[in-house]
Amino acid sequence: MAVRTRREFLQIAGVGGVVFASGLLGGCSTPGRPAGAQDDFYFVQLSDTHWGYKGPANPEATVELPRAVELVNALPRAPDFVVFTGDLTHTTDDDQERRRRMAQFREHMGRLRVPTVRLMAGEHDASLDRGAAFQELFGPLRYAFDHKGVHFVVLDNVSHPKGILGDAQIDWLSNDLKAVPAGAPIVVFTHRPLFDLKADWDWTTADGSRAIDVLHAYPHVTVFYGHIHQEHHHRTDHIEHHAARSLVFPLPAPGSQPNRTPVPWDPSHPGRGLGLRDVDADPRQPSYLLREIPLASEA
């Protein structure tokens, strides 16, 4: 009897999301990689909790992170890892309060029953102190790791107050990717979009095109990011860019209103528009099955 992959199970059960083929050669085997269902894996993307936020856009902002942890822990099979794409905490001018919020956030993440949690900063975590508290509590702002044939890169486009990557990081990215086997899938995690999604809302990275230029030389690149508090999908040539929902309040669709003020809180539908995402990765294709998991009923 054939063993079905998780992806096949999701698709047969009708609970799967949208499959995005990655790169120039979708459907081709990745050179140098053994085939086999054991290569499939999945991870969960959480984003933009803004722990410590107090405001009208979400008067129940302490509810969402524990709820997200519950949802992840209730998944039938634990993901290989959880990645949190920035704005773990809401910014504050008080350095001690910033550390307190980060410590509280860490407590909640400690309740996740998953093998690994990967964290990265958003501008609310890192811009005012150039990432000092984040590094103190969570570790480096940029790093790379490999998992089951996929090379993952975490970029920092937030600790510089202007939201740039900077020359040193672009060089680091170029050098890091030189060691990646030819044709291997690459996944990039950032907080802000690397492309100009809506520059007059600051939904961009001023020098993001330089990173895209570096990534462009590789055939299978997919970017997952946060910042814009909503699901969004975009393609720059063969590179896919996928934004995740927030865990505090949704923001309006790009250009749908004069400014980027949050979608008003609806007390009759708390949590509407918030959610997380699981990503089923098939490194052999490579392709990614994205499944959006709402935090509350969407009805």
Q: Write out the residues near another protein by the rule CB under 8 A.
A: 90-93, 123-124, 127-128, 158, 161-163, 196, 199-202, 204, 206, 258-261
Q: Are 131 and 176 in contact (CB under 8 A)?
A: no
Closer by beta carbon to another protein, 197 or else 281: 197
For the bound state, the minimum distance from the C-beta of residue 128 to another protein, rounded and expressed in Å, comes to: 7
Q: What are the percentages of helix, strand and coil residues in the chain, rounded to 5?
A: 25, 25, 55
Closer by beta carbon to another protein, 91 or else 285: 91
Whether cis (ω within 30° of 0) applies to the bond prior to 267 is: no
For the bound state, the minimum distance from the C-beta of residue 250 to another protein, rounded and expressed in Å, comes to: 14
Closer by beta carbon to another protein, 124 or else 242: 124
Q: What totals of helices (H) and strands (E) does the chain contain, helices first? A: 7, 12
Which one, of 217, 157, 291, lies nearest residue 23 by Cα? Answer: 217
Closer by beta carbon to another protein, 143 or else 201: 201
Strand 143-147 to 186-189 pairing: unpaired
Closer by beta carbon to another protein, 204 or else 285: 204
Closer by beta carbon to another protein, 134 or else 288: 134
Closer by beta carbon to another protein, 218 or else 249: 249
For the bound state, the minimum distance from the C-beta of residue 90 to another protein, rounded and expressed in Å, comes to: 6
For the bound state, the minimum distance from the C-beta of residue 268 to another protein, rounded and expressed in Å, comes to: 26
Residue at token pair 């202007």: 162
Cβ burial of 52 (10 Å; 0-12, 13-18, 19+) is: buried
For the bound state, the minimum distance from the C-beta of residue 239 to another protein, rounded and expressed in Å, comes to: 22
For the bound state, the minimum distance from the C-beta of residue 196 to another protein, rounded and expressed in Å, comes to: 8
For the bound state, the minimum distance from the C-beta of residue 127 to another protein, rounded and expressed in Å, comes to: 4
Q: Residue 192: which residues within 8 A CB-CB, separation 6 or more?
A: 123, 157, 158, 163, 203, 204, 205, 208, 225, 227
In the DSSP assignment, the letter for residue 264 is: P
Question: How far is residue 112's CA from residue 22's CA, in Å, rounded to a whole number?
Answer: 29
